[in-house]
Amino acid sequence: MSRSFARLLASVVLLMVSALAQRLPRPETPPEETSRQTMKQLVRGVNYAAASMAPQATLTAEHILAAGGNAFDAIVAGQAVLGIVQPAANGLGSDAQLLVYDAKQKKVFSVNAEGTAPKLATIEWYKTNRDGKLPSSDSLLAGTVPGVVDAWYVLLSRWGTKTFGELLSPAIELAEHGVPLGRALNSRGLAKYPTSVRVYAPDGKIWKDGEVWKNPDLARTLRRLVEAEKEAAPKGRLAALKAARDRFYKGDIAREMAQFSEENGGLFRYEDFASYSAEVEEPVSVNYHGYTVYKNPSASQGPAELIALNLLEGYNLKSMGLNSADYIHTSVEAFKLAMADRDTYLGDMDFIKIPYAGLLSKEYAAERRKLIDAGTASLDFRPGDVARYTPGYQPVDRPRDLTTRGNADHTGDTSYIAVVDRERNMISFTPSLHSGFGTKVVMGNLGFPFNCRGDYYSLAAGHANALEPGKRPRSTLQGTLVLKDGKPFLVTGSPGGDDQCMRTIQTLLNIVDFGMNAQQAIEAPRWTTRSFPSSPFPHTMYPGDLSLEGRIPESVRAELARRGHKVTMRGPWSMNDSAAIVVEEGTGTVSAGADPRTTASALAW
């Protein structure tokens, strides 16, 4: 029996068993187990798993794994496809944050592929030329240097086994032959940029469901990377990979991006691309009930989740009950404190010192925990004084940059993909254009726009996230990688702007504290708050804000409102977009979950 036929047969049997199981009565099922039945099935495998925000990307990653590639190969191919099938959310112009578990070294790494500000971008320039305002999710003035191509190069040169030619082939095929995206391409924000209209709305086209979109310009750009690799192949695989990477950042593609920017009012110049480099960093972590939880340390909001975990570790969350008023109130109040510290202390470590020794200490958490009033919602912005918990740290008097006016968006358009392979290498990869179609400006004839992460900077000099030339913004991008007893346990992530940390912490707590599997943890009802400064300009804070999914009982809403939360009930399946892969304790098998709220999908073998 061929392997492909065996896999097809297994899929048919699985579907038959699933259909039969849905028809059979379950009179003996306890109520608590009934509540954990899921909309999508958890997938399990012995060898590997992949999960992402789009079926085509998950399938691409699985094909690479089935053909003998490792997790690093698979995730590059999968994310390249993700950029084709979710062009509003990510693509070649994306920034990214990645977490990597190297099974051979038994070590976790952070790959920081956040974009940098152009050398010409200064606070003074925006004050003089833009009335002291950052353009929100629009124009080249909101952009940063794309980081995702260098992220690919880092993964393949350090850990991968295959070539760009092999791994970009599926993305090139989809870009050339088309994908049925239909109405997902309709965006009024693109209309004022001729290069964007040509790619996304030729002749003013309004897309209908099921219509096939092609991007031959993007296919040609990807082929240019492959051509550079082939030309340098006689020098060896590593030299060939670097040639492909350098064509984007130092070659003719970089020159075209720079020329287009200069001709169209942007601040990017050739040197901004030529000097760019993604950074491999030591992640930060905390221990939560015996699980070591890792986050990206620099230019990321991820560590705010670690601060919140330290605060929540002082409570018996399970005894409160999942999504009880006590549980949600405590979690939300912990996050308000963590996000106040996010805005005060986190940023690009190449430009500021982040006092992690204090921020992530249990002693600091114990002191901050005293601020959580069990009966009353806080309406204030309350960062902590971390200096006395951080030996040798010289406190910096940083200005606040927030407003309760305006309507800055706390959400965003991002994507996600995770892979675990046979050797138990694990990768969490969060690529993003930040907001729908990023800057909205397609770069000349290259077929893609830049991310618009530049609207995250603060224009308050001295702020941890203050704009400076060459600096990375403190991004909302992050993911979670967890070890248990030094062994790989979990990777999870989600789009969602400022809500990303709240999504990943709820998935983690559902697994660790409430004993759920990955699929149950993703599907459980959700909460979120905007009671802290938004990442995009003008950094609006909505004091007391709290939103709940409609599956949370009315009695809980009423009690939270009584405690002073300004509660909004949203749709019953409206507030998450996650994927996760777990390496099961004891068996060592893999299980993967994907959110039924969206097109996310998971596969395992």
What per-residue confidence (pLDDT) applies to 35?
60
What per-residue confidence (pLDDT) applies to 604?
98
Q: Is the dihedral of CA 288, 293, 296, 302 positive or negative?
A: negative
What per-residue confidence (pLDDT) applies to 36?
77
d(CA 521, CA 303): 21
What per-residue confidence (pLDDT) applies to 6?
44
225-249 as b/e, with b when 16 or more CB fall inside 10 Å?
Answer: bbbbbeebeeeebeebbbbbbbbbb
Please answer whether residues 311 and 333 qualify as being in contact, where contact means their C-beta atoms are separated by less than 8 angstroms. no
DSSP β-ladder status, 545-549 and 566-570? parallel
Q: What is the pTM of this model?
A: 0.94
- Any residues with CB less than 8 A from the CB of 515 and at least 6 apart, and which? none
CA 536 to mean position of chain CA atoms: 16
d(CA 453, CA 134): 11
> Quick one: which of 278, 279, 282, 217 has its CA closest to 245?
278
Segment 445-478, tens digit of pLDDT: 999 999 999 999 999 999 999 999 999 999 999 9
d(CA 282, CA 296): 8
The pair of structure tokens assigned to 127 is 């004050």
> Quick one: which of 448, 500, 452, 506 has its CA closest to 476?
500
What per-residue confidence (pLDDT) applies to 11?
43
What per-residue confidence (pLDDT) applies to 17?
33
d(CA 260, CA 322): 52
* Side-chain half-sphere CA neighbours of 377 within 13 A: 24
* Number of C-beta neighbours around residue 30 at 10 A: 9
d(CA 147, CA 474): 14
pLDDT < 70 stretches in the chain: 1-35
What per-residue confidence (pLDDT) applies to 29?
35
Element (H, E) at 108: strand 107-113
What per-residue confidence (pLDDT) applies to 181?
95
What per-residue confidence (pLDDT) applies to 407?
79
Please answer whether residues 294 and 481 qualify as being in contact, where contact means their C-beta atoms are separated by less than 8 angstroms. yes
> Quick one: which of 287, 307, 283 has its CA closest to 295?
283
> Quick one: which of 444, 95, 447, 90 has its CA closest to 257?
444
Residues 28, 32, 38, 39, Cα dihedral to 10°: 90
d(CA 278, CA 412): 22
